[in-house]
Chains A and B, each alone.
Chain A
Amino acid sequence: MTKQTRRTFLKVSTLAAAGLATPSILRLGDRAWAADEIPVGIMYSLTGTTAIVEKSMNQCAQMAIDEINARGGVLGKKLRPIIEDPASEPRIYGEKARKLTIEDQVPVIFGCYTTASRKAVLPVVEKRNGLLVWPTWYEGEECSKNVLYAGSAVPNQQLENSIPWLQKKLGKNKLFIVGSDYAFPRGMAKTSKTICQNIGMGVVGDEYLPLGHTEWASMVSKIGSSGADVIFSNVVGDSIVAFYRELRNQGYDFEKLPLCSSTTTEVEIKAMGAEYALGSYVSLPYFQTVDTPRNKSFVEAFKAYAGADSVTHAAMEAVYTGVNIWAMAAEKAGDVTPEAIVANVGGLSFDAPQGKITIDPQNLHSSLTPRIGKTRADGLLDIVDQYAEPLLPLPYSSVGETADKRICTTAGATL
């Protein structure tokens, strides 16, 4: 050990000892925060399987908070982040959400990446009157009044643009839908099938593999023999890489058999090596390549914050949006309680990196701009199609929700 590292080590261990020695177990008065601070929870996994993506979301949330604090904070108070690591396990998400909501008494948690983790947090925020700001695009089918779905796309915002585009622009008519085995891909598949029916496109397959599954050979050969001329992928996580690589190894080419994904962000492309994703399409409201001054400054700011080789992606942009729109709602309400935020956030607009987003007052989801990107050799995506105006969120599109016939309203969901 050099002198320097030993000193660091000593410092680290002293800090650690101090950290361990002061748990606030005892109920000697509930925790009091300094009057000029507002505690906020940040809860993204720093360890475990989904840490890869969630680490960058954690950084982005901190960056957004730093920016707000630099501008003078919220209601004249600084935001003070309390960071928890739920270790990619729903069980621990629930536990940490309890700690934040009940013990630390934060008025808001910015957190979660997977729906399974959100479901574990849901009972906590609903019964203990907390607020979760949820960032990830997901299957919808939820209508909680304790969750602000800021910047998170729902199926209609990823599918209404892309599936007709595959038919019209690429001339493809036989769709194979493939996904990891959980609610999001299944919800996406249902909405996809409805859309396909409406536009007269055939669905030749709808298959799932367990999350984290990395043996894709059978599935790829199934796709090959199904006669499909286009693939829609709702595969997530580690499986994405194995899936794309298997397609390549079995000799498929995205020019002949195009693939459009709802989940493959810049992070996954970087992880698999851009050559394997080259030419594949992705449908999401945000890509690092969105060509606006607003986004350029966001990307620059994040690279300055997290390192030059980091990439920005949709879930992260939604985190950024979520923190900011929460702060706007707090300013408008003059209060940070979940009720005040929920009552005031409807109709608020934020000039996000992707463009203008607006919170829907009925379902607390966000109007977003659907985009389709095509992967290029450097691992970023060229935007090949985008809407001129943001599209309304319809979280229950999988069971037939339309703009005129809402299922999720301020009164809750009526199925």
Chain B
Amino acid sequence: MLMTAIDGKQVVQPLSPPILRTRNLTVRFDEFPAVHGVNLDVADGELRVVIGANGAGKSTLLDLLCGKTLPSEGEVWLRDENITSIGEAAIARSGIGRKFQTPTVFKEMTVLENLQVASNRRVRVFENLFQRISARANDKEVAVAERTGLLDSLNRKASELSHGQLQWLELAMVLSQEPKIILLDEPAAGMTAAETDKTAGLLLDLAGDHTVLVIEHDMAFVRQICRTITVMHQGSVLAEGTAEEIEHNPAVIEAYLGSATLSHA
């Protein structure tokens, strides 16, 4: 990747055409711009980390990408398809999977059932009318479960899992969806150090086959997965670059001056 400086701002120029693009993405809540004029280009197979202080608009950005929130202005493009406002389900079907900060899974269902629902690629009612479900996991489901360490828990109810396991389960569900782009909101939150390492490994592993967009607070974790970083501040993109570049970027330092949170937050 080439880094060029234009007017003191660093812009990523991807080699391949970007798989995900946003143009002037803006949303206002009660006239307060939570996300403002964001232009984002994410290359195919990239692992992108978005950081920023609380209220910088990171989660809102993901909400806009996956359709949870409708933008007031601007567009989202997935390759050459405009996916702005086509609805959460359609966005998901076009290849974007989302993992939330607090794990959202189907609590009263078993792990296997959760995966079955997620991996099912027939989504219409009438396609499914005569579809039976197997009591056993198929190869694909076993593979995903193995990758996320849930193989022993396939028949347990999700409500019986630990918080860390729930995070893994949600990740497993997103993976079963086989999305082109994976949106992750603080995947390491609430995990032990060992689990965090494992997560980092998994993310690095995923990048390449998938495009991964991660929101993270934990700079140690960010350094661990260490790829391109986008810094958000007050709803806009403040800077983009590698971890090292970002840490020495004067604008970033200025924005975080006094709060001194960047390294810990």
Contact present between A and B (CB < 8 A): no
Which B residues are within 8 Å of any A CB, using their own CB? none
**Chain A contacts to B: CB under 8 angstroms:** none
